Structure 1
């Protein structure tokens, strides 16, 4: 039995007789022509029956009371539905609702700024990241623009407008990333892309389909998580750390760094902090009486951090090495500096020379790359030893000293979860040492008898 609904066409009411459109068999008995079924009060799904196959239509009511009509695709009368060109009833019904929503949004957006493309939002996101990094003194140069330009803006998805972007578009882009990329690299690119798509102003987000957030979530869903990388294996014995510091002092002297290189390596090793933190330290962050360094918290992570500095105890030898750098200087001066050089014009036939120009704080971890290679060679360590090994070594040293995981995380400005994930074996060894101290002999080895326990 067909359903009968009363609908409005302007000021006149007409009756909509709902045709049986749900299956190919149900549609076989229909005569040639157009048949309708309601999707909502003002949206109807139509089926135009032809001699061979039928086609789906949609019509919807306009603000002035008139109706507008458009085609959706072929019906699955003779071909299996593929969800794109050939649609079954449910697919056609869903597409009709989405199509009308998009058309109504276009009508509302008439005269407004056009909906941005993926390219536009990605470029705006990258520019914003770069601007924030430039405002933060001592922050490392942001490379999001390079990653996104290489892997997103070079892909056809960059030309898509956000209102017609689908999760299939994003999934196709995700699958197209080179297989040679490391899992961590892929995750970094995907996270940057997701942040760009989600970081839209409210006025733009309101003009997009309600399904847009879910489109981004499903399309950029990353596969299985990368197995936790064990970093405790990258930690060095204390003897190797001392060799690195001695080598840093020798390279510093040979290359005339005037102590700048040595102090940078020394503070990195003593605190276990990141380069970006150490490079922002001020003279006032050295507290000789307490044998303490106040290390600025990192800019990593989300949200507002409650503290701005982390109190880190260091040895008297570290404090003594830093005394010349703080003597007679203001508390607000950068603690660790280095010389900047400029190239002087050479005389005809002579090679240009680099001369010292001015002193200033360290800016980028890349500044230590070349001298670090010389340090590692001088110390006789493997060439793949990286400066971050100083941080790994500090964390593992604290864990082996049986400090609580939470305290180790706080001292190194990271989370308990990250410590447990990446330094598991060091934690196990530390706990094993603690439990071993609680073990007492229960058997008299000399007499071979069981010792009586009180109670």
Structure 2
């Protein structure tokens, strides 16, 4: 439905009870047109989703009789967007983002992972200052080319040049996905194959999921723990016990663990949404030991210098332990997460449960580990054979 075209609106038939024909402007925002049952002009409407009531609210604007036919849609669209902003803000008008940087900042308020990516790839780029109402496909195409040309950091050494590699298509896809989501919050998709089609420049590269396939079985993970530096041992052991992202584990504080119920609240993660999980006895004992005599705001897994672990501090001890244990050289902290998820899927745990524990979607678990669930089912059926 393209209500911006006069000939399309004139050809519309009246719906029962004067119900409008709707066109989606952006998620949760629609503009509507109800043709007149008589010879008069049709009326314009708006529909917006209210997150508080989880229902849509509606309003009518009239016919805009003083405007030319080809200008009515633009006026109705503008009014519909204003109405949507009013509904979303609970009746309070808020300042709307004007530039790409504004849109990213608004999107990243409750999403730490997005904020990190925007700071690295958007805020310092020329695209940050482009007005949203002037944003075209070419701006985003040029931004994407600049992003793809940036090398990825493999490691940072105290002495000597940093080790870099070509940015993988899967990494570019992840950066683009967050950026696309931020713009989609404030921009409607442009007409296909036009300069207004900003979304076309941000399509993901197909078949570039960057899947991590290196797996360490339990015996190999035990070897790693035997060789790991004493300072890093609790942190790495936790990675072997739970399918958490290393960054999410490092961000935990002593107050995030409830010793009485063995429950852990995971706040800072890729999704930006906190979740609470029940820990098994081995993990609960480890976390209780780490939380002992610490203030609630202190890092749960603390280094000898009192700081929390980060990707630059855990790389070296893990790499040294990998070499000492004779494990594959490309094993990393993230390999432990992948290996733990693999074991959970192979054991037959429901994929939705694994997704909730690991902080990802069931779709991603199904995409990358679904074949293991099938193998587990086959194994279970074979055990039933007489």
TM above 0.5 = yes
Q: Take 1:404 and 1:161, find their aligned partners in 2: how far apart are those partners?
A: 46
Contact 1:245 1:262 in 2 (8 A): yes
Structure 2 partner of 1:269? 240
Q: Take 1:431 and 1:212, find their aligned partners in 2: how far apart are those partners?
A: 45
Residues 213 and 363 of structure 1: CA distance in aligned 2, closer, same or farther (over 3 Å): farther
What displacement does 1:421 show? 0.7
Q: Deviations over 1:56-112 (max 9, x none)?
A: xxxxxxx8x9x9xxxxxxxxxxxxxxxxxxxxxxxxxxxx969x979xx9xxxxxxx
Residues 147 and 159 of structure 1: CA distance in aligned 2, closer, same or farther (over 3 Å): closer
Give 5+ residue unaligned stretches, structure 2.
Answer: 1-40, 42-65, 79-96, 150-165
Structure 2 partner of 1:220? 201
Give 5+ residue unaligned stretches, structure 1.
Answer: 1-40, 42-62, 68-95, 106-117, 341-358, 441-455
Structure 2 partner of 1:190? 176
TM-score (normalised: structure 2)? 0.58
Q: Take 1:327 and 1:162, find their aligned partners in 2: how far apart are those partners?
A: 50
Structure 1 partner of 2:346? 400
Q: Take 1:222 and 1:237, find their aligned partners in 2: how far apart are those partners?
A: 36
Structure 1 partner of 2:54? none
Structure 2 partner of 1:443? none
Q: Which one has a bigger Cα radius of gyration?
A: 1
Contact 1:228 1:421 in 2 (8 A): no
Structure 1 partner of 2:278? 311
Secondary structure at the counterpart of residue 382 of structure 1: coil
Cα root mean square deviation, aligned = 4.4
Q: Superposed, which structure 2 residues align to 1:123-134 within 5 Å? A: 123-125=101-103
Q: Take 1:301 and 1:329, find their aligned partners in 2: how far apart are those partners?
A: 27
From 300, 304, 323, give the equivalent of 1:339.
Answer: 304
From 285, 296, 320, give the equivalent of 2:257.
Answer: 285
Secondary structure at the counterpart of residue 271 of structure 2: coil
What displacement does 1:334 show? 4.1
Q: Take 1:127 and 1:371, find their aligned partners in 2: how far apart are those partners?
A: 35
TM-score (normalised: structure 1)? 0.50
Residues 435 and 287 of structure 1: CA distance in aligned 2, closer, same or farther (over 3 Å): same
Q: Take 2:100 and 2:379, find their aligned partners in 1: how far apart are those partners?
A: 51
Structure 1 partner of 2:22? none
Q: Superposed, which structure 2 residues align to 1:32-431 within 5 Å? A: 121-125=99-103, 142-148=116-122, 153-154=125-126, 161-167=131-137, 170-171=140-141, 174=144, 178=148, 181-200=167-186, 215-216=196-197, 218-222=199-203, 225-226=206-207, 228-231=209-212, 233-248=213-228, 251-252=229-230, 257=231, 261-279=232-250, 280-282=252-254, 285=257, 287=259, 292=262, 294-296=264-266, 299-301=269-271, 308-315=275-282, 324-329=289-294, 334-340=299-305, 359-360=306-307, 362=308, 364-431=310-377
Q: Take 1:392 and 1:301, find their aligned partners in 2: how far apart are those partners?
A: 18
Q: Take 1:324 and 1:171, find their aligned partners in 2: how far apart are those partners?
A: 51
Contact 2:191 2:197 in 1 (8 A): yes
Q: Take 2:377 and 2:311, find their aligned partners in 1: how far apart are those partners?
A: 35
Name the structure where strand makes up a greater proportion of residues.
1
Q: Take 1:414 and 1:375, find their aligned partners in 2: how far apart are those partners?
A: 28
Residues 243 and 162 of structure 1: CA distance in aligned 2, closer, same or farther (over 3 Å): same
Task: Figure out how many residues of one structure are paired with residues of the other and give that number.
Answer: 284
Q: Deviations over 1:167-204 (max 9, x none)?
A: 4554565577647643223323433443454454xxxx
What displacement does 1:164 show? 4.1
Structure 2 partner of 1:438? 384
Q: Take 1:211 and 1:329, find their aligned partners in 2: how far apart are those partners?
A: 50
Contact 1:140 1:364 in 2 (8 A): no
Contact 1:263 1:321 in 2 (8 A): yes
Secondary structure at the counterpart of residue 315 of structure 2: helix
Q: Take 2:180 and 2:254, find their aligned partners in 1: how far apart are those partners?
A: 36
Q: Take 1:398 and 1:245, find their aligned partners in 2: how far apart are those partners?
A: 20
Structure 2 partner of 1:16? none
Q: Take 1:241 and 1:265, find their aligned partners in 2: how far apart are those partners?
A: 10
Q: Deviations over 1:287-345 (max 9, x none)?
A: 48x7x45252554337x66xx31112143xx55555653444566654322233xxxxx
Contact 2:169 2:205 in 1 (8 A): no
Secondary structure at the counterpart of residue 403 of structure 1: coil
Q: Take 1:236 and 1:211, find their aligned partners in 2: how far apart are those partners?
A: 44
